[in-house]
Amino acid sequence: MHYRSIKTVVLGTILLSAVWGSQASANQWDTIKARGTIVCGTQNASSPYGFQDPVKREYVGYDVDMCKAIAKELGLKLQHKPVSTEARIPEVKMGRVDMMAGAVAWLPKRAEQVDFSDQYLQGYIKVLVKADSGIKTLADLKGKKVCASSGSSSAAIAEKVLQGANVLTFQNIAQCYVGLQSGKVEAMTAGELVLRRFLNDSVKEGKPTALLDEPTYTEHIGIIVKQGEAALLAQINQAIAALDKSGELTRIYDKWMGQESIYKMQRDFKVESVSAAAQADASK
């Protein structure tokens, strides 16, 4: 009996090791293919990336359309999962989503936690001034008061890039806009999409503003996946490249950020490695 017990334990250990070994060798892409569905996360309240349409009560946006397009390109059904901005990386790391199209800009610290696809979107931190201010370039901001929202990356970037400017922080970006129009500050800095909304409002109010062409920072944005899932990442990169080649990527961009949108922006980025693009910017 004692011998049989030992034999049973040993056999069970071997069988468990085999199961564990097969699980370890399996990759996420194989799992996704087997179930025929890919889980793609986006932000849940960030227009125009991912947000709930107040009329249709369904989630829409640039990233939602990217999730749909990539799933279709891969021949898979889509399970969309809206999450908070703060939960984007944790959801990927915990395996609750297969990929996150959440407007996640590449940063060295983020690259230590998740892997990034090639660039599928590019964003800019820019500066808004009054149209009649005479300010045309970032260099013209020397000695000027520039407002940013407290604790924002825009404020930290302005401190480094706008040398000679007096960077002030208000509680939120709306207060910066009031300060700009009242003359308390001569410029404000934030993400370009946010600033374009204020630009549109200023024209309607009869107090026009102007957006400086040169950005203070360029954000290179990729889809993120769990680290080490090379097969899944390769499939996503191939899908993005195919969408770019077919013109679908530009169509989605135009719908949400280009001429069909309130922003009237022109796509000026290419599909490339996000880390390489960020490093190229840093070397300029």
Segment 52-87, tens digit of pLDDT: 999 999 999 999 999 999 999 999 999 999 999 889
Residue 13 above 50 pLDDT?
no
3-class secondary-structure state, position 115:
strand
Report which of 73, 75, 51, 63 is spatially closest to residue 100, judged by C-alpha positions. 63
Residue 6 above 80 pLDDT?
no
CA distance 157 to 219: 12
Report which of 178, 172, 185 is spatially closest to residue 135, judged by C-alpha positions. 185
Domains 29-122+220-277 and 125-217 agree in fold? yes
- Give the contacts of 219 (CB within 8 A, at least 6 positions apart): 105, 106, 122, 123, 124, 125
What confidence tens digit (pLDDT) does each residue in 124-179 have?
A: 999 999 999 999 999 999 999 999 998 888 998 999 999 999 999 998 899 999 99
What confidence tens digit (pLDDT) does each residue in 236-280 have?
A: 999 999 999 999 999 999 999 999 999 999 999 999 999 999 888
Assigned token pair, 89: 């990386």
Report which of 118, 101, 104 is spatially closest to residue 272, judged by C-alpha positions. 118
CA distance 186 to 184: 7
Assigned token pair, 85: 């901005």
- At 148, which amino acid appears? A
Residue 19 above 50 pLDDT?
no
User: Does residue 215 have a cis peptide bond before it, meaning omega lies within 30 degrees of 0?
Assistant: no
CA distance 117 to 101: 10
Domain formed by 125-217, architecture: 3-Layer(aba) Sandwich (3.40)
Determine the average pLDDT of the residues in 182-198: 96
Residue 193 above 70 pLDDT?
yes
Buried b / exposed e over 37-60, threshold 16 CB at 10 Å, is ebbbbbbbebbbbbbeeeeeeebb
- Per the CB < 8 A criterion, the answer to whether 224 and 117 are in contact is yes
Report which of 73, 270, 200 is spatially closest to residue 280, judged by C-alpha positions. 270
Among the four given CATH numbers 3.40.190.10, 3.40.80.10, 3.40.50.2300, 3.40.309.10, the one describing domain 29-122+220-277 = 3.40.190.10
Mean pLDDT of the chain: 90
Q: In the chain, what percentage of residues exceed pLDDT 70?
A: 91
Q: What is the pLDDT of residue 279?
A: 87
Q: What is the pLDDT of residue 153?
A: 82
Q: How confident is the model at residue 26 (pLDDT cuts 50, 70, 90)?
A: low
Q: Where along the chain do its domains lie?
A: 29-122+220-277, 125-217
Q: How confident is the model at residue 284 (pLDDT cuts 50, 70, 90)?
A: confident
Q: What is the pLDDT of residue 233?
A: 98
- Angle, alpha carbons 283-162-274 (nearest 5°): 35
Say how many C-beta atoms besides its own lie within 10 A of residue 181's C-beta. 17
Q: Between β-strands 166-170 and 145-149, what pairing exists: parallel, antiparallel or unpaired?
A: parallel
Residue 283 above 90 pLDDT?
no
- Per the CB < 8 A criterion, the answer to whether 123 and 274 are in contact is no
